Amino acid sequence: MFVFNPARGVLSVLALVSGLTTSAFAQEVNLYTTREPGLIKPLLDNFTKASGVKVNTVFVKDGLAERVSAEGQRSPADVLMTVDIGNLVDLVERGVTQPLKSDALEAAVPSNLRAPDGSWFALSMRARVIYASKALSLEGFTYEQLADPKWKGKICIRSGQHPYNTALVAAYIAHHGEDKAQAWLAAVKANLGRKPGGGDREQARDILGGLCDLGVGNSYYVGLMRSGAGGPDQKIWGEGIQVVLPSFAGDGTHVNVSGASIAKFAPNKANAVKLLEWLVSDEAQSLYARGDFEYPVKGGAQTDPLIQALGPLKVDSIPVSEIVKHRRTASSLVDKVGFDN
């Protein structure tokens, strides 16, 4: 005779629920990312194909660190991925990551693009470039020149508080110090053709729309627009502008990185390491370059022809790990000069 055992009943319900939450795959890795799902999906699909490890993702725009830290020891997160060095270092500082020693990663990622203790690794780079009206001649353009009064009313840029812009300001601080950075930022503000707003692509569109002559944006958007991956309208925007790789006077171009860390309580750590190591493999690095139009971090990996056409990239000599220390000051300066007002 069947006797109902309440404990067993509850257990089977729990098993059912937890079956929903932690999937039945034996091999899996959980990825929390601030990177837009559309951009990394092809990469992750290829990883699964190559390794047999299933990748579960959740795209969290803001609050990634807060969520992982609130989840605590039971956090399902294995890998934390961000698209800005500041956000990445924030994760490390909140103590939700763990250091990793990996020969493969250390061989592939140059030392200025990873934390000395392995608590984060850059996976790809993007340059902060100038989108410009085709009529202009901008040979040897520098970031410093954005403050030149001759551009009055001619510059378009997204919100100064966006991480891509605060990182640029932080780099300026690293080069010239806080006071000069503030003066520069105020002068750039005075040159704006409209209030800061929109995304990077808006700047290209606004140049075509005649609202300004110069825009500041990331390099990969140029590839996304010009390749037609964003649809026919954006192809027109991308092809309607010229793109210049600017530099700091006497130095190189400012780059930001996308990168990743291993979560502190990663339940599938072995697979997490597998994923990170795969992301710096030749195959993955070329996918970053071809699919997402980024600069690979691994020496020798090819960039996409559309990005190569922008000219050779000379990366700023101050490492990102140095620049990132100025990010909060940079954000304060943006407020101080009323950049977004």
Taking CB under 8 A as the criterion, which residues in 1-60 touch another protein? Answer: 7, 10-11, 14-15, 17-18, 20-22, 30, 36-39, 56-60
243's enclosing H/E stretch is: strand 241-244
Radius of gyration for the alpha carbons in the chain, expressed in angstroms and rounded: 22
Q: Which is nearer to another protein, 134 or 194 (CB)?
A: 194
Taking CB under 8 A as the criterion, which residues in 147-186 touch another protein? Answer: 159, 161, 163, 166
Taking CB under 8 A as the criterion, which residues in 281-340 touch another protein? Answer: 327-328, 331-332, 334-336, 338, 340
Number of residues that bind another protein (CB under 8 A): 71
Q: Judging by beta carbons within 10 Å of its beta carbon (0-12, 13-18, 19+), is residue 28 exposed, middle or buried?
A: buried
Q: Which is nearer to another protein, 39 or 245 (CB)?
A: 39
Taking CB under 8 A as the criterion, which residues in 196-215 touch another protein? Answer: 196-202, 205-206, 208-211
Q: Which is nearer to another protein, 217 or 246 (CB)?
A: 217
Shortest distance in whole angstroms from residue 263 CB to another protein: 13
* E strand spans, 283-322: 295-296
Shortest distance in whole angstroms from residue 285 CB to another protein: 21
> What span, in angstroms and rounded, lies between the C-alpha atoms of 102 and 270?
12
> What span, in angstroms and rounded, lies between the C-alpha atoms of 251 and 236?
32
Q: Which is nearer to another protein, 22 or 27 (CB)?
A: 22
Binding track, positions 58-77, relative to another protein; x by CB under 8 A: xxxxxx--xx--xxxxxxx-
> What span, in angstroms and rounded, lies between the C-alpha atoms of 31 and 275?
10
Q: How far is CA 101 from CA 105, 111, 116, 146, 322, in A?
A: 8, 13, 10, 41, 21
Shortest distance in whole angstroms from residue 252 CB to another protein: 25
> What span, in angstroms and rounded, lies between the C-alpha atoms of 265 and 260?
15
DSSP 62-116: S-HHHHHHHHGGG----EEEESSHHHHHHHHHTT-EE----HHHHHHS-GGGB-T
Shortest distance in whole angstroms from residue 131 CB to another protein: 13
Q: Which is nearer to another protein, 226 or 327 (CB)?
A: 327
Q: Which is nearer to another protein, 90 or 106 (CB)?
A: 90
- Note whether 116 binds another protein by CB under 8 A: no
